Amino acid sequence: MGKIFKILIFTDLDGSLLHRDTFEFKKIKGYIKQILAKGIFIIPNTSKTKKEILEFNKELGEDLPYISENGATINGLDLLNSNLPKELILSREKDILANIFEESVPLSLQNKCKWLFEMDKEKQSLIFGLENKKLKMALDRNYSVPFIFEGSKNEKKELSTIVKKKGLALQEGGRVINLTDKVNKAKALQVFLRFFKKNNKNVKTIAVGDNYNDLDMLKISDFPCLVFNDKFTLDQIPINDLIVTNKPSPEGWADVIKIALVKINKNY
């Protein structure tokens, strides 16, 4: 008989578990509940804010631990074990990041960055695809600053190089680029696992994503899963044994999870 182990599913939300445009997941809500009932853990690992993830938890009717703002904070480890911390903050605050950016980046490049907090509500709503309360929650950030870049690819590369040298990062999602600390979803996943493994030695990880800022997380998981995104062709993604689906979210999420769970049951 194989070892007893815990399964952890680290998942992006927008475009992976949630529909890319409507942010709905009703079609797979029952399946998510079935997975949780089996003792499998689901951990949202997303660029979304704490408030947005708590709203998702409320819609799901579950209290899930989560990683917010592209790996800036880990919340709810204490839900898995009462000895573990309630919150881990892995990032400096956004005002510090913004100051470093302003001092380090040439004005010619700064002028190509259109910060969402400076835009009117109509533009913000158009970019995020959200309105009213949900828009407000998406903008309520503590550790990241979203913007649109209006320069060339080479200029974006130059900007990325400059901020990296200053210990910051650019995280590119489906709708915006986020200026962040030197954090990402993969690093936060590793920290989460380090704490979790204090009480559970045998762990298998599944990671689900659909965009560039998910790839590092996918690379370090045992079972990397990619939900359909027409931005990618598979030869662009150098990840071994990648589980893929040609269905978009949310159905695509259920597809890749089913394949991953079959693989785990077969191999362990």
Spatial separation of the C-alpha atoms in residues 205 and 188, rounded to whole Å: 13
- Residues 250, 173 within the same domain: no
Spatial separation of the C-alpha atoms in residues 113 and 35, rounded to whole Å: 41
Tell me, rounded to whole angstroms, the distance of Cα 138 from its chain centroid.
Answer: 14
- Residues 196, 172 within the same domain: no
What percentage of the chain has pLDDT greater than the value 70? 99
3-state helix, strand, coil in the chain (%, to 5): 45, 20, 35
Residue 81 belongs to some domain of the structure: yes
The answer to whether the CB of 142 falls within 8 A of the CB of 183 is: no
Domain C-terminal end among 154, 181, 208: 181
Residue 143, Cβ neighbours under 10 Å: how many?
A: 25
The answer to whether the CB of 185 falls within 8 A of the CB of 11 is: no
Residue 134 belongs to some domain of the structure: yes
Please, which pLDDT band fits residue 8 given cuts at 50, 70 and 90? very high
Q: Which domain holds residue 28?
A: 6-89+184-267
237 burial (CB, 10 Å; 0-12 / 13-18 / 19+) is: middle
- Residues 262, 147 within the same domain: no
Q: Over 50: is that where the pLDDT of 63 sits? A: yes
Type of residue found at 65: P
Residue 1 belongs to some domain of the structure: no
- Residues 16, 64 within the same domain: yes
Cα Dmax for the chain:
63
Residue 236 belongs to some domain of the structure: yes
The answer to whether the CB of 179 falls within 8 A of the CB of 97 is: yes
Where is pLDDT greater, at 40 or 235?
40
How many domains does one find in the chain? 2
Q: Over 90: is that where the pLDDT of 108 sits? A: yes
Task: Tell me the three state secondary structure of residue 144.
Answer: strand
- Residues 40, 82 within the same domain: yes
- Residues 109, 54 within the same domain: no
Residue 203 belongs to some domain of the structure: yes
- Residues 108, 82 within the same domain: no
Check the CA dihedral 150-180-24-11 and report its sign. positive
- Residues 83, 212 within the same domain: yes
Domain C-terminal end among 181, 203, 219: 181
Q: How far is CA 158 from CA 102, 154, 162, 169, 262, in A?
A: 15, 6, 6, 12, 43
- Residues 68, 193 within the same domain: yes
- Residues 134, 29 within the same domain: no
- Residues 102, 215 within the same domain: no
Condensed to tens digits (0 to 9), the pLDDT of residues 199-252 reads 888 999 999 999 988 999 999 999 999 999 887 777 778 898 999 999 999 999
Q: Over 80: is that where the pLDDT of 120 sits? A: yes
Rg of the chain over Cα atoms, rounded to whole angstroms, equals 18
Spatial separation of the C-alpha atoms in residues 223 and 215, rounded to whole Å: 12
Query: What's the residue count for the chain?
Result: 268
Question: Which whole number is the average pLDDT over 84-100?
Answer: 97
Condensed to tens digits (0 to 9), the pLDDT of residues 155-206 reads 999 999 999 999 999 999 878 999 999 999 999 999 999 999 998 889 999 9
Domain C-terminal end among 181, 214, 249: 181
- Residues 49, 157 within the same domain: no
Q: Over 80: is that where the pLDDT of 1 sits? A: no
